[in-house]
Structure 1
Amino acid sequence: MESNSSEMEGNGGKIAETAPTNDSSPSLNILCAICNEFFRANDIIFSTSRCGHVFHKDCLTRWLNRSRTCPQCRDPCDRRRVHRLYLNFAEAPEFDDTELPKVAMDWVPIDLDRDSLPDAHLPPEGAVQCGTNEDGLPTYVARGYYHDDLLPAPYVPEKKAAFGSHSCSARTLTDDVEILVLNDCDYKWVPGQHGTYPRDALNTGYSELGEVTYTGRGLYQGILRLGKVHPSHKVMYIPHHGQEVSVNTYEVLVVTPRDQADR
């Protein structure tokens, strides 16, 4: 074990990490709960997707090699459910009315808590609506976490939930639901069958084994439905009345930023 990264068991079984101290970048008034060191401007910082707590990348990686929970709140966490945070530091002007540029495509978390504002469940501008659910309610392209999977899932605003297909059942998703928002993109639906998908298909989710899954749409009982294209299973799965049904022919979502399309 290297001398500059000692690890030991602290109170309550918490793993203590020793972070490098030779960084001369400015210190931030935020602590990494694993090593108890303040973040610095040059640090690589990662956040958990479910609860949003932040840690040094190396600290969090070592922790998740031993545990599948968040080091701070002990919520379930997986190495595939973390992402890097990019923080920009600058002196703020006294008055700054400049609008930040919008990204071309984004997965935007949607607030489905009981105590949220009355309109918090409404799809934001740029959300992609396609088809309906089995009751004829409009659905939007979304995704949500279920155990170790990230499921492509139709979001139904009237139900305040997304619905994913997993292990022969339809799963109701109300935590960590993200809706696709396009600001400067074109999109199209490309035909596929028996698990095929175009090379430029939108990578929407993944299975617990790390296989990429895609957003698709297809007809089921005469209704255009959103679902999960699972290549190795050679079908598109659709959540339907609490069950997971499948179709062999479908269309796969392809999203292209307009500046890329012009090249």
Structure 2
Amino acid sequence: MKKIIMLLGILLISSIAFANDNQFQTTTSAFRFAISGLNGSIGNAFESVVPQGGSVSTVIATTTMQISSSSANDTAAGTGVRTVSISALNGSYQIFTETVTMAGTGGVNMVTDAIAINSIEPLTVGTGLTAAGDIYAGRDPDGVTGTPTTIYGLMQVGTDKMQTSLQTAPDAGGAYIQGIRIDLSDTGRVADVRLRKRNTAGLWMVILEWIESSDSNIQSDDIQEILPVYLPAQNAFDLQVRVRTGAATTVTSFMTGVFNAFN
């Protein structure tokens, strides 16, 4: 059963934004985000809702990201994806977009070093009309399977977008999470869910916890009273799930909110 944690406040985007419970500040820019996440198999241990599974890897200092594919057909003249658009944050936590020409299972260095990868999308494709393999952002792909030693982003084959609950708030205004939805694909599942944030020193902290069920409306009443949640600038955040009743299941997530940039 789909359950939506609804926004219980009003956020004025055009000219003002909440800085905290008692203060307003003017804003130079604010834009909405809608983030979908996917993990194909979560069992009785906490995993992040990211396609690569397990716990996420995040960058503390800027690094040269390498873009690779699990298929040799994702190349500049291949039948799969030829170029991809990467949305990332630079060392000042400012958003930038870069186009990368694919080279199959070999890694292609991004021109601008990044501290976070927020999205991967196909830009141009060959006769196959979509990516032929998984598209990775990471470090040191093996050149055979295209899998990096460390994965910072993954667009799975057949999805045409990076489905991940992991995001990083840009510099200045931070982020407000307004809505969260968790779907458990199989019946008979009860799961613990938690929203985490990671500061610039790399320390993770759980800020919300609740229960979800695939069969009935089991959910913490306190969650609906807490949203929207403010996350400081330059903090990463993600959703983690573990199944407490039943076998492993596919988990999808959906988060909506606003990134702000204050004067």
TM-score with structure 1 setting the length: 0.27
Greater RCO (CA < 8 Å, at least 6 residues apart): 2
- Which protein has the larger Cα radius of gyration, Structure 1 or Structure 2? 1
Q: Which has the higher strand share?
A: 2
Q: Which has the higher helix share?
A: 1
TM-score with structure 2 setting the length: 0.27
